[in-house]
Amino acid sequence: MIPYFNRLRPAEIADSDLDVLLALGWYRMEQTIFTSSHVGLDEIYRVHWLRYAVNEIQQHHSHRRISNKNKPFFVSIEDVSSIHYSHQQLYSRYRASIDFDGASTIEECLFGEEGPSRNIFKTKCISVFDNEQLVAGGYFDVGEKAAASILHFFDPLYKKNSLGKYLILLTIYYLKSNGFEYYYPGYVVEGNSKMDYKLFLGKEQAQYFDPETSSWKYFEDTILIRQTNG
């Protein structure tokens, strides 16, 4: 296929428009929305955008195990009006612990150079507390019937709690409770397993976007095998 990259900078975006763009393989970047067929890591890799039909997701043993492990924690989900200082501090610690590229700050990830005074997306914030200590945070955008995860981070000392996956489960629980139809976690990368954790919700239910037919197909392991022709 011919590699592509497109980016839009809308002044505003309606909930229904976000649903349409997500369904066409687009995704948020700061205060823009983009689509791409490839990503530059140590080399250039083909990417495959994922989605799940929320009501098709089945409860796996691993899902129950992660939820039970974190059951003592308090969870809140709220609209984003500003970035909490506790989130900023935790993200800074998380960012220092990872071995892959990421935004320097939450503000940079969500807003870019424009800052938090303007947000064209309807964003929700997840906070996970162990007593009064924030141990994980996440952000996801919601449209009319679809939602997309944007950023997850957690306390490195709680790595054994699988908090990154727990944040995805919390998002799914929220979406199911509020009648959403589709969840978009981002992309997986052909020939590179760093993003494969997004499949833990269930490969059987995962769908990937085929840009050549502009349609969604059920996931196959073969799409992760790197093709020499890109």
Tell me, yes or no, whether 109 lies in a domain: yes
Convert the pLDDT of each residue in 155-182 to its tens digit. 999 999 999 999 999 999 999 999 999 9
Tell me, yes or no, whether 99 lies in a domain: yes
CATH number where 167 lies: 3.40.630
Strand ranges of the sheet holding 32-36, from the earlier edge strand across to the other edge = 5-8, 32-36, 27-29
Nearest C-alpha neighbor of 75 from the set 157, 142, 173: 173
DSSP the chain: ----EEEE--S---HHHHHHHHHTT-EEETTEEEEESEEESSSEEEEEEEEEEGGG----HHHHHHHHHTTTSEEEEEE-SS--HHHHHHHHHHHHH-SS---SSHHHHHHGGG-TT--SS-EEEEEEEETTEEEEEEEEEE-SSEEEEEEEEE-GGGGGG-HHHHHHHHHHHHHHHTT--EEEEEEEETTBGGGGGGGTT-TTTEEEEETTTTEEEE--GGGGSPPTT-
Share of the chain above pLDDT 90, in %: 85
Tell me, yes or no, whether 88 lies in a domain: yes
- Calculate mean pLDDT across residues 90-113: 90
Give the pLDDT score at 230: 46
Give the pLDDT score at 228: 63
Domain that holds residue 127: 5-224
Tell me, yes or no, whether 9 lies in a domain: yes
Tell me, yes or no, whether 73 lies in a domain: yes
- What is the number of domains present in the chain? 1
Tell me, yes or no, whether 230 lies in a domain: no
Tell me, yes or no, whether 212 lies in a domain: yes
Convert the pLDDT of each residue in 29-46 to its tens digit. 999 999 999 998 778 899
**Could you tell me if 77 and 174 are in contact, meaning their C-beta atoms sit under 8 angstroms apart?**
yes
Tell me, yes or no, whether 229 lies in a domain: no
Q: Rounded to two decimals, what is the model's pTM?
A: 0.95
- Calculate mean pLDDT across residues 108-113: 91
